[in-house]
Amino acid sequence: MIRRISAVARLVILEAFRKKDFYVALFFGVVLLAYASRIEFYQISNVHRYLLEIGLALAFIFSAVLGSGLAARQLPSELQNRTLGVLLSKPIGRFEVMFGKFAGSFAATAACFTVFFVLFAAFAWMKAGGLPMVLAVQTFVLFLFALAVLAALSVGLSAYLTTAANVLVTLLLFFMMNIYGGTLLSSTAQVPLPGRYVLWAVYSALPHFEFFDMRTRFIHDWPALSAGLVACLAAYAALFVMVFLTLGWFKFRKAGTTA
């Protein structure tokens, strides 16, 4: 089973790096980071924090956009090219195909994010003269968790939506939760019962990408997270990965093999 999943994932990774999306994003990322690293704010203290914020935002945004696009087109492209029947004619199940598509999409996106993050760290190190390494590692690892959930969400939705609709829904949910996720629960306090319970259930069912966002803690050099909390976040990410892949599999197992 592992070998079959790995074979599918390897094809996704090869496809990802054959396309030019990553290289274009890398070029623009380097240009923007180089420009940001040269900005001077008239001797304002701690100016390097502006570079940290800009650099992390670029790494996060580019990786999320690339990852959602790659994962969202996996199953629709198989149907459109009529290669799904060939793939399923081999001794491989539909859940293995779906999990392999997820694993390949996540691995390729994680590799892209690693390159972006290393470049960001290099520019930030030169500008700030050093970085809080524990926080840097935690910021990197937690965003990998977010990318895993994002890839699973995109692959799962690809069994239900077109590629364009999938990318739109996935990125909208990703950015909305990162921006407003922390205030959603408090905003339900004014809603009368039983509507409050309904909203709380919806709130709990949504993937909270903001849980994995360490940017503020990293930029301001706040204390690092405990190992126990990081483990809880890893379990939270794993739970949503399995939920999204299972929901996608329920639809995918009934799908035809031709467009």
In a domain, 11, yes or no: yes
| Count of domains forming the chain | 1
In a domain, 109, yes or no: yes
Give the domain range for residue 95: 2-252
CA angle 153–17–122, rounded 5-degree value: 90
pLDDT score at 89: 64
**Among 232, 196, 229, 209, which Cα is nearest to 149's?**
209
Q: Judge residue 192's burial from the number of C-beta atoms within 10 Å of its C-beta, 0-12 exposed, 13-18 middle, 19 or more buried.
A: exposed
Q: pLDDT tens across 152-195, in order? A: 999 999 988 989 999 999 999 999 998 887 777 676 667 777 76
In a domain, 125, yes or no: yes
Using pLDDT thresholds of 50, 70 and 90, give the confidence band for residue 92. Answer: confident
In the Cβ-directed half-sphere of 211, how many Cα atoms lie within 13 Å?
A: 19
In a domain, 257, yes or no: no
In a domain, 81, yes or no: yes
In a domain, 217, yes or no: yes
The residues near 78 (Cβ < 8 Å, ≥ 6 apart) are: 84, 87
Query: Checking phi first, is residue 56 left (phi over 0); if not, alpha (psi -120 to 50) or beta?
Result: alpha
3-class secondary structure, 143: helix
In a domain, 258, yes or no: no
How does DSSP classify residue 193?
T
In a domain, 259, yes or no: no
